[in-house]
Chains A and B, each alone.
Chain A
Amino acid sequence: MFERMTKIFGSLAVAAALGGAPVQAGEIVWPSYEWGGPLKDFMREVVDDFTAANKDTTVKIASPNYGGFFDKQFIEVTSGNPPSILTFQDPQIGQYISAGLLEPLGKYYKAAGVDPATFPKVIQVAIRDGEIYGVPLQVNPRALIYNQAMLDAVGLRVPTNLEEFYAALKALRDPAKGQFGFALLGTPVAADPTAYEISNIVLGFGAAFFENGKPVANSPKMLEAMSFYKKIFDEGLIPRGIDFMTQRELIYSGKVAMIASAPFAFVRAKTVNADIAKHLKTRVLPFPGQGQSFTIMTLLAVPKDAKNKDEAARLLMSLLTEANQKKLVEKYASLPIRPVYAAADIQARFPDFEAFLQASNLSASSAPQGAESLAPQINVAIKRHFESFVYGNVPVKAALDNMQAEFERLLASRR
């Protein structure tokens, strides 16, 4: 009785929240915050092409806000009335796969002639026991976006290693102008964005929180990475009180010379401040990890309980056609998921994207490798211990030892 009432109430509440109604035959329901994002027109074109080729199918889209989207999606799935297509950022999909909530998509990939092995390696988070459960919409690896004019003004070239990078931070710091060489997360924010943002440094230094399911939070590489973070924070070489959104605004306004960010941030500069955008260039991160960085992949998936699963899966496959992948690059300035261009082509036609494509091949998810189902708890632990040494007085080594101990406790509790 309670279960039934819960399902009914949950479904009604979510339907009301997302502006939904019961799913009709042949109807694909696709609510996503991405409908309000930079790829909305691309998605619309793909949907229009798909419905034109499949006359009995209709696609109902909804564009809820990003804030609270994942909570609503979770309620919708657990109330037993999911939409046809779910949206995830890569660290989140693991829990849904573990709970058996997603439809395996291998047969659709096979039918579409698309090999996921050619995707950026972060796709691994959507693969479990040889079966794939997600379709990438976009991939956003981090590279160094720098302002050439600001570097020229202090007589420096773009840093290619840690020593040059540190020297550039010192040279570019100008308190009178409120100017900084680089911006990193410098304020307490929620757990997931904290884990994402510090992954730029962690992975950039070749470190990781987890390797093959084992915690390695207090490894020498991690100590080096986090000590560097603490050093530039304490020396006032990065602005305090800055979250990831503000970092971008600071480079667009010429207050910061370098940030580690994604292609969308680079492209957006042109619309925000064309004067600054013409000085912006990219290269892979100059940290000891040889260009390795972190990436966020937006993944789409089909829930097991969804109606019209077959149509939904085929629609998702149409995102990956060669024509649509080329459109993604040429018309919407986003990285392709599939390698649809030769390397020389990229260099010649999209020079600014070369660094992002290199980073894409080297980048990893912020999801804890081999412990993806514990990602939320791990991110909360990362936040707590990271903040204890950056904003508090706990020595870096002690904080990382505490983090490692908490990871081990989390793993033990899972067993």
Chain B
Amino acid sequence: MSGLRSQSATTTVAAPLLGWTMRRRLVPYLFFAPTLLALLAMYAYPIGQAFFVSLHRDSLGTRIGDFIGLENFVAVLTQPLFPELLFNTVVYTVGVVVCVWVLGVVTALLLFRTFPGRFLARGLVILPWAVPVVPVVASWQWLLNFDYGLFNAITHGLGFDRLDMLAASPGAMITVILVTSWKLFPLASVMFLAALQTIPDELYEAAEIDGANDWQQFLNVTLPGLRSVSMFVILLMTVTIFGRAFTIILLLTGGGPAGTTEVLALQTYHEAFQYFRMGSASALGMVVLAISLCITTLYLTLLFRRKDEA
């Protein structure tokens, strides 16, 4: 009996390691921890590793090269082609972002209307985004072919000169922008379509009562209603295109003709997998990351400043 009493007393005395309040405070962090760990493993580690490699001499073997500080950064920033690569990247990024935004909004507005076959049309719009890049590029190459392509057959049939859309400058850059935009616009379209459904009908009714025509309704009701999604689409596309997109260029023109479609991401790929210079490739990757961060920060600052002013 006394033994039981003693055990009970011990149980009462043993206090939890953390108090109730503290445990409640920790719960959100525990829920957040798996995500944080995944983010660290998937983002922080590769970025940290790339930065570490960028500070070391290029080496092809399993050993990391000697520590050389910022030499790789100096080398990539002072290479003669860097200004041209940066210019091409900016043109490509701006071109794709503008085209994707315009195509996304226009198709979303069309699909938002009620018409027979709307569900089928909504499904078909997704196709470019769903089809793998390689067949997409092969199809475009044939469509745009100078001697055998459909577009040139039509334009030539109408009495116009044939256009070499992949081997002429600036035609090649325009082509890679259009093909990339064609591939990516469904993503924007779906997001804009979802956003359109959140704009209250009352706003359109009020605008109509105020005598606003379709164009004025678009400018004063629809566009403000799409503002937050636009912000996200523009940011997502900018970062994606500026820092990562090169597959379509690699397959369509290989960066040509004469480097006119060569962008920083393609050069990073060349440094890593053609020249086997992992240090230089990592340095270039870090430069692209830094520029992307600057663009993002600037964009968000301007956006929030305008919002505050409004």
Interface residues of A (CB under 8 A from B): 2-3, 5-7, 9, 67, 70-71, 74, 78-80, 95-96, 98-101, 178, 186-194, 239-242, 305, 376-377, 379-380, 383-385, 387-388, 390-392, 394
Contacts and interface: CB of A to CB of B under 8 A. Distances in A.
B169 A392 contact: yes
Given A241-B147, A241-B166, A387-B256, A80 B52 contact: no
Interface stretch (B61-69, B194-202, B217-225, B297-305): B61-69
A70 B146 CA distance: 31
B53 to A, nearest CB: 8
A383 B256 CA distance: 8
Interface of B: 45, 49, 52, 59-64, 134, 141, 144-149, 164, 166-169, 172, 250, 253-259, 261, 270, 273-276, 278
Contact of A178 (B61, B147, B270): B147
Contact of B164 (A9, A178, A241): A241
B141 A70 contact: no
A305 B64 contact: no
B167 A240 contact: yes
23 contacts: A3-B64, A74-B276, A79-B62, A95-B60, A95-B276, A99-B276, A101-B61, A188-B172, A189-B254, A192-B274, A240-B167, A241-B141, A241-B147, A242-B147, A305-B62, A376-B274, A376-B276, A380-B274, A384-B259, A387-B259, A388-B257, A391-B258, A392-B169
Contacts of A189: 253-254, 256
Given A384-B258, A391-B257, A391-B258, A188 B49 contact: no
Contacts of A383: 254-256
A96 B52 CA distance: 24
Contact of A392 (B62, B253, B258, B261): B258
Contacts of B278: 78
Contacts of B145: 240-242
B238 to A, nearest CB: 26
A166 B63 CA distance: 54
B62 A78 contact: yes
A42 to B, nearest CB: 28
Nearest to B165: A241
Nearest to B253: A188
B151 to A, nearest CB: 11
B274 A191 contact: yes
A2 B166 contact: no
Contacts of A9: 45
A49 to B, nearest CB: 34
B61 A100 contact: yes
A80 B256 CA distance: 35
B28 to A, nearest CB: 29
Contact of A387 (B59, B64, B257): B257
A387 B250 CA distance: 15
B273 A70 contact: yes
Contacts of B166: 187-188, 241
Contacts of A376: 270, 274-276
A379 B48 CA distance: 32
B60 A101 contact: yes
B273 A74 contact: yes
B146 A3 contact: no
Contacts of A388: 257-258
A392 B134 contact: no
A9 B147 CA distance: 48
Nearest to A255: B148
Nearest to A389: B258
A241 B258 contact: no
Contacts of A305: 62
Contacts of B45: 5, 9
Nearest to B172: A188
The 3 closest A-B pairs by CB, nearest first: A188-B256, A99-B60, A240-B146
Nearest to B252: A188
A188 B64 contact: no
Q: Counting chain B CB atoms within 10 Å of each CB, which of A74, A391, A392 scores highest?
A: A391
B257 A188 contact: yes
A2 B52 contact: yes
B256 A391 contact: yes
A220 to B, nearest CB: 24
B100 to A, nearest CB: 24
B168 A391 contact: yes
A250 to B, nearest CB: 9
A376 B276 CA distance: 9
Q: Counting chain A CB atoms within 10 Å of each CB, which of B45, B59, B144, B146 scores highest?
A: B146
B254 A194 contact: yes
A380 B166 CA distance: 18
B253 A71 contact: no
Contact of B273 (A71, A99, A239, A387): A71
Q: Counting chain B CB atoms within 10 Å of each CB, which of A95, A192, A377, A384 scores highest?
A: A384
A242 B142 CA distance: 9
B275 A188 contact: no
A380 B148 CA distance: 28
Nearest to B152: A241
Contacts of B256: 188-189, 194, 383-384, 387, 391
A391 B62 contact: no
A388 B61 CA distance: 35
Contacts of B141: 187, 241
Given A99-B59, A188-B166, 15 more contacts: A9-B45, A78-B278, A96-B60, A99-B276, A186-B146, A188-B172, A188-B257, A189-B256, A190-B254, A194-B256, A241-B149, A377-B275, A391-B258, A392-B169, A392-B258
Contacts of B61: 78, 99-101
Contacts of A392: 169, 257-258
Contacts of B169: 391-392
A390 B167 CA distance: 9
Given A78-B60, A101-B61, A188-B254, A239 B148 contact: yes
